A = this chain, B = another copy of it.
């Protein structure tokens, strides 16, 4: 990898009943629980305008990822041929960013209850964005 690097800071962390990576579903829509996203009070004013019921994109940092992997068996299924990580959602990838579309269920100061989300307890959150209504933006 080139030497250039960019620094991300945690905006906050996920508090979830999912404690281990091997108990997390592959995607939020596959039976994941709701979780609390607690942001650092110093940046909580950046949440102004988000209301319960909104759909948002949470970008996480998969802190337990292996970053030196370029090919995986999708969904960990060895019957599926090895595929480039950029053609998969594997958390193991050079820059282990996770993308989660969730609904905001409740807001309590600097905490958002969101779900469903497959990120495990303690996962850092590095960005939050609104879902845009135009179809060109749907993920």
Nearest residue, chain B, Cβ from A12: B2
Chain B residues within an 8 Å CB radius of A28: 136-137
Known: A49-B84, A137-B139. Contact between A9 and B130, CB under 8 A? no
The A113-135 residues at the B interface (CB cut-off 8 A) are: 116, 124, 126-132, 134-135
- State the oligomeric state as a number of copies: 2
The 0/1 profile, CB within 8 Å of B marked 1, for residues 1-39 of chain A is: 110111111110000000000000001110000000000
CB pair A131 B126 closer than 8 Å: no
For residue A48, CB closer than 8 A to chain B, the reply is yes
Residues of A at under 8 Å CB distance from B? 1-2, 4-11, 27-29, 40, 42-43, 45-50, 54, 56-57, 59, 61, 63, 70-71, 82-89, 93-95, 97, 99, 101, 116, 124, 126-132, 134-139
